[in-house]
Every structure is written in C-alpha cells, then in structure tokens.
C-alpha cells in the first residue's frame, strides 16, 4: 500500500501554486482555464455550471454506494457489480460510476479499514482531478462511531466507539454531543468523508419501529436541542474546509410507522397520525434548519392523508416544495433516501424500489415526479440517463436541473473541495486512535447507562464477588470478579439481554434482519430468565435499541440497568462502581404489549401506565 503522504504530495504537484478550482479544456485538449479561489462562491458556481454538459449535470444528481478495494486501488477489480454486504445492496466501483455516469458523489458502507479508506479516497480524488472539469468527489457515510451488537448496523471499525444516539439522548448533555460530533468530524476528515448522512432526528413515538436506536428518543424538545449541538460539531459556525456537512434525516419525521413496520420494505408504505401530531415531528427539523444543516433527507413513507396526494415524501410536492422549501425557506440540498427509482434484483429476491404511491410509474417517470416535487439528488441510484432523456424530450427544463446542480456545486465549494480535495497527510495518524477520543467514546457508553431498579442498593457491586455471567465475556468479567460456572455457586448473577424482536417473513435478508415485532420476552426464553433470577440474586442489563416490555423481569431482578450500546467493559465499570450511570430514559418503557398496541403511533409517551416513564433514572447511593 502506498505511503499516504507521498500520494498526497504527488497529487498536488499538478495543482498550480495559486490553486485551480476546476479546469476547462481548449480545442487542443489542453488545460487553459484557472479560476482564482478568492472569487465569491456564487461566481465560481455559476462559472463552472456554464461549462458543464447536460450529462455532467445529470451525473451530479445521483449518489450511490461504492466498494472500497482491499488494496486501496479504485479499479473495478471484477468488472461487475461487487458483492453486497449486510449494510447495503450490490454496488459498482466509484471509478466505474464516474466513467459511465459522470457521477461524483458516493456513499460508503463496509470498508476494509480506515487506513485503506484514506488511501482509496486519495486515489479517487486524484482520478477526479484528471476528468474534464476536475470536479472533486464528495464522499458520504452513515454513522460509523457507535457500538452495536447488531450485524445489520455499521460497526465502528478503527473509529472511536461511542454509545448509540439514544445513549447521547439518555445523558442529555449538549456539551457531550458537541464533543462527540467534533471528534467524529475530525475522524471523518482524516479518511476523506465530507458528508454525514446523519443526524437521524426522527421521534421514537412508535416503540416497535426498528430504527429507534439511531434517534434521540421520543421527546421533540430534547431532540431539537441535541440536533443543534450535533450539527454545530460537524459543520462549525459555517461550512468550510474543516467541516463535514450534515444530511439531517428523515424529513418530516419517520417515527409514526403503522404497527412499527419500516417502509424500507413493501409491507409498510405509509406512516400514520391518529393523534394529529404531524407538526410535533417537525420540531427537531425546525431546529436543524435553524442550525444550518447543509442537506436534508426525506423518508420513504407516505404521509397518509396529510397532503393532497398519498405519495411518498420524496415524490410529494406539498412536503418538499410546500413545506420544506416554502414554509421553512430551506435552500440546501434535498436528497432522497436510497433506492426510490430502480428495483434491486438478485438471484434470490427482488427488493422493490421504495416508490410508494407511485409504483405504477416507470423509472423515468419516477425521476420526473421527484424532480417536480423539488428534490435535488437521488440516493442509492446510478441512472443519470433518465434525467438526460427527460430534458432532451422537453419534460423537464435544463433550468430546473441547474437549480439542483447549483446547490450541489455550492456545497462542494463551501467544503473547500475544489481548493483542497486531498486529505492532510498528517491528519490520519494524529486523529485515528487518539487516546482521549477513544477514552471519551468508552466513557459515553458507561455514562449513558440508565439505572432503573436498585433493590437494597445492590449496585455498585464490590470487587471479588463470586459471579455467574451470561452473555458477558468471561475474560472481561474476570477483571472485576471471580467468575463461577453455575448460578448455584454464585453470590450474584450478571446477565445481558437485548430487546426482543420477531423476524418478518420475507425472502429479503435485510427485511428479516430489521428488528420488527413484539417487544416482550415470551415462552421458554422468559421462563429461563426467571428461573435464573429465582436461583440467585441477579443484575440485569438490557440493551434498549427499542423500548422493551419487561414487567416480569423488572419484578424479579435485584437491579436493572439499561444500556444504549456498550461493550462489556463499559457495562461492568458501571456495575462495579468505576463509573456512575448518568442516563435518563429517552422514551417510556411500556407495561404490556396490549398498551403498545393501543397507543397512538405519532404521540409521545402515550402508552397506558408505563412501567417506567420518559426521563426516569436512578443514581447510585453516595
């Protein structure tokens, strides 16, 4: 693998001292136009836009995933679609999409490691320099900094590892969120990521929804407060060369899904508002817009009976133009969620495009309707040829395409990508693995833990006890206690649980992997847990990626802690008193599944007689 510093220095040799921001070719095919970077951004945007072909403009309107080669190269090693991972569908290499579709926005799923990604991104920017106009690439990513025990969520590979966003909400401290965002921003910059496909500020008002772990919980004012700090940490006071732009999602709030089913899939196409709380879900987005979020992503679902047509958000002109553009005066980038135009067809299953409400339309007509609704960019798609055809056939004006291209170019200029597309070669070793960042991430996992029950002041435990553990790494536990092999030998048991879920029936592995369904423990699993607690006093730690229904477990546990993404060491540091839990529940814990089914999907804290209310959390005795 090439030395990162050598690669950057050699790439920069082709840049003039005053720095060109894009380039044009004269009739002889030679570079002859340089633009002074001191010119106002809008002048630079308009100047470059005037030089772009229709095909180049169309390519700007699409962002799709790219494989990252193990050796840091950018060549399409197979010449075909790379094998997809659990985190995303199959994908062409970025280079192939640049060559075939004139694209220059890409998002990343699984990566070999952070160092390889930094080398790969340098190669990609170097290749972009050699294109006709030298338009730099913009790389985007879903969150990469949160600990998760789910194989269907992005793992914090080489990055500092923090609690889930729910955990940040449990702590509820704006300064902690700001610190997290600043650290994550610097680590993104070190590998070339310039757009964060987050924060996710949907409200967790339907407790069965699978995407709750990525939110700040159910309370709109809390989510709004934390969203502001989050965006400030990633973007700064204004967008610049040290910023990572936030694409805040999922407008106008994806929480109120019917029965908690997710509209990634064809079995759930609409979200419902039985309590009339549509406006409540807008509160965090109002804060994000006020904070200057660079981009916004609408969600997949149809806002049932909230607008003049029941079509999904990105096809819905009342949502995109009427609400987001006109009411809120948002002039940043609006990018659809992934996969609204084309079906994903594999030998084993077909994943339909999430074109809910417009399934009957052809691919090209879906593109047309979304553009007419007001979106700028299509996520998870590589079909600019549809835009080219729409313009050439007179169905969409080139002036309309220019509106969106102008926003996308402006963001590239604001981020300084035209002036310095390459990573600072000293940044990687300075930032990745920085001890203070790693320590804060680990501490956040402990701080977010929420003490729900502490009978007879069982916690914190004293070191050296004989302990039986379940779903806890024995080698880690041995650092805190004498680990025994059976409950009968133990003075106390420590067990870790996960919020229950029920796989849906589907050929789509992504659908089967989403945590849908009931939230309570049942049958043999519940019996086994209760038998253990009747054998030995038990400390229960439950991971709340959704609000679990645990009345029986709560009753029998000697102590009950909730975690929001924590490694075993972070958990045991709290159990044995090395850290104090600071968390307060970011949602309520319902008392029964009957209460869950009767609550209104769009209304926060709406279940009858909750086991623990929003904001509940105990402290250790002094």
Return the active site residues.
Answer: 337
Residues in the chain: 622
Burial of 277 (0-12, 13-18, 19+ CB in 10 A): buried
Euclidean distance between CA atoms 404 and 197, whole angstroms: 18
Long-range contact set of residues 51-54: C-beta below 8 Å, sequence gap at least 24: 51/22, 51/24, 51/133, 52/133, 52/405, 54/388, 54/391, 54/392, 54/398, 54/401
> First vs last Cα of the chain: how many Å apart?
54
Spatial neighbors of 446 by CB under 8 A, at least 6 apart, are 566, 570, 571, 573, 574, 578, 579, 581
Euclidean distance between CA atoms 599 and 78, whole angstroms: 51
Euclidean distance between CA atoms 539 and 460, whole angstroms: 10
Residue 496, phi then psi, degrees to nearest 5? -110, 135
Residue 113 in contact with residue 158, Cβ under 8 Å?
yes
Spatial neighbors of 53 by CB under 8 A, at least 6 apart, are none
Angle formed by the axes of helices 174-191 and 435-447, to 10°? 140
DSSP 8-state symbol, 257: B
Euclidean distance between CA atoms 363 and 218, whole angstroms: 36
DSSP letters along 33-80, please?
A: ----TTS-HHHHHHHHHHH--HHHHHHHTEEEEE---TTS--S-SSSS
Closest CA to 501 of 486, 488, 489, 512: 512
Euclidean distance between CA atoms 185 and 159, whole angstroms: 11
Spatial neighbors of 47 by CB under 8 A, at least 6 apart, are 35, 39
Residue 207 in contact with residue 547, Cβ under 8 Å?
yes
DSSP letters along 16-46, please?
A: -TT--S---B-TTS-B-----TTS-HHHHHH
Residue 345, phi then psi, degrees to nearest 5? -110, 125
Backbone CA torsion sign across 135, 7, 154, 445: negative
DSSP 8-state symbol, 377: B
Residue 207 in contact with residue 519, Cβ under 8 Å?
yes
DSSP letters along 212-243, please?
A: GGGS--S-HHHHHHHHHHHHHHHH-SS--TT-
Spatial neighbors of 132 by CB under 8 A, at least 6 apart, are 23, 24, 25, 56
Residue 23 in contact with residue 33, Cβ under 8 Å?
yes
Residue 364 in contact with residue 353, Cβ under 8 Å?
no
């Amino acid at each position: 693998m090439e030395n990162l510093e050598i690669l950057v220095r050699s790439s920069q040799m082709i840049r003039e001292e005053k720095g060109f921001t894009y380039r044009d070719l004269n009739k002889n095919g030679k570079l002859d136009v340089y633009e002074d970077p001191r010119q106002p951004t809008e002048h630079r945007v308009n100047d470059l836009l005037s030089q772009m072909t229709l095909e180049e403009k169309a390519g700007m309107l699409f962002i799709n995933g790219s494989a990252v080669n193990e050796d840091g190269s950018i060549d399409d090693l197979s010449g075909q679609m790379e094998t997809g991972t659990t985190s995303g569908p199959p994908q062409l290499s970025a280079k192939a999409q640049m060559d075939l579709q004139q694209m220059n926005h890409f998002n990343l799923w699984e990566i070999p490691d952070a160092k390889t990604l930094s080398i790969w991104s340098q190669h990609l920017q170097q290749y972009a320099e050699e294109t006709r106009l030298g338009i730099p690439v913009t790389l985007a990513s879903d969150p990469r900094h949160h600990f998760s025990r789910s194989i269907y969520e992005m793992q914090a590979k080489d990055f500092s590892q923090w609690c889930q966003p729910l955990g940040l909400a449990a702590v509820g401290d704006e300064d902690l969120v700001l610190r997290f965002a600043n650290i994550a921003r610097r680590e993104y910059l070190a590998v070339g990521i310039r757009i964060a496909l987050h924060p996710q500020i949907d409200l967790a008002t339907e407790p069965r929804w699978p995407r709750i772990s990525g939110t700040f919980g159910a309370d709109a004012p809390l989510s709004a407060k934390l969203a502001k700090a989050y965006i400030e940490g990633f973007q700064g006071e204004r967008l610049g060369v040290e910023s990572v732009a936030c694409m805040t999602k999922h407008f106008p709030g994806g929480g109120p899904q019917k029965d908690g089913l997710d509209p990634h899939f064809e079995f759930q196409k609409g979200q419902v508002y039985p309590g009339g709380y549509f406006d409540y879900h807008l509160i965090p987005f109002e804060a994000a817009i006020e904070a200057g979020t660079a981009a916004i992503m609408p969600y997949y679902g149809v806002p049932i009976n909230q607008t003049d047509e029941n079509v999904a958000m990105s096809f819905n002109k009342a949502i995109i133009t009427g609400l987001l553009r006109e009411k809120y005066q948002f002039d940043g980038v609006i990018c659809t969620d992934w996969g609204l135009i084309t079906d994903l067809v594999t030998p084993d299953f077909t994943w339909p495009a999430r074109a809910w409400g417009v399934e009957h339309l052809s691919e090209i007509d879906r593109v047309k309707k979304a553009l007419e609704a007001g979106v700028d960019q299509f996520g998870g798609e590589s079909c600019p040829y549809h835009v080219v055809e729409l313009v050439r056939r007179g169905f969409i004006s080139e002036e309309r395409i220019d509106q969106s291209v102008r926003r996308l170019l402006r963001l590239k200029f604001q981020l300084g990508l035209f002036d310095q597309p390459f990573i600072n070669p000293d940044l990687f070793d300075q930032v990745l693995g920085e001890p203070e960042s790693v320590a804060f991430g680990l501490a956040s996992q402990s701080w977010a833990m929420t003490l729900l029950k502490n009978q007879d002041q069982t916690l914190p435990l004293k070191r050296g006890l004989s302990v039986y553990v379940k779903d806890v790494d024995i080698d880690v536990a041995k650092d805190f206690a004498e680990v025994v092999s059976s409950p009968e030998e133990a003075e106390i048991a420590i067990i870790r649980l996960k919020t229950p879920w029920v796989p849906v029936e589907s050929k789509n592995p992504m659908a089967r992997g989403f945590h849908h369904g009931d939230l309570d423990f049942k049958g043999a699993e519940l019996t086994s847990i209760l038998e253990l607690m009747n054998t030995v006093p038990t400390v229960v730690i439950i991971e709340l990626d959704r609000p679990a229904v645990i009345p029986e477990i709560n009753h029998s546990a000697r102590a009950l802690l909730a975690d929001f993404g924590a490694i075993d060491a972070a958990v045991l540091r709290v159990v044995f008193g090395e850290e104090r839990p600071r968390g307060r529940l970011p949602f309520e814990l319902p008392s029964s599944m009957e209460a869950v089914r009767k609550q209104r999907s769009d209304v926060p804290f709406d279940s009858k007689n909750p086991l623990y209310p929003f904001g509940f959390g105990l402290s250790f005795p002094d």
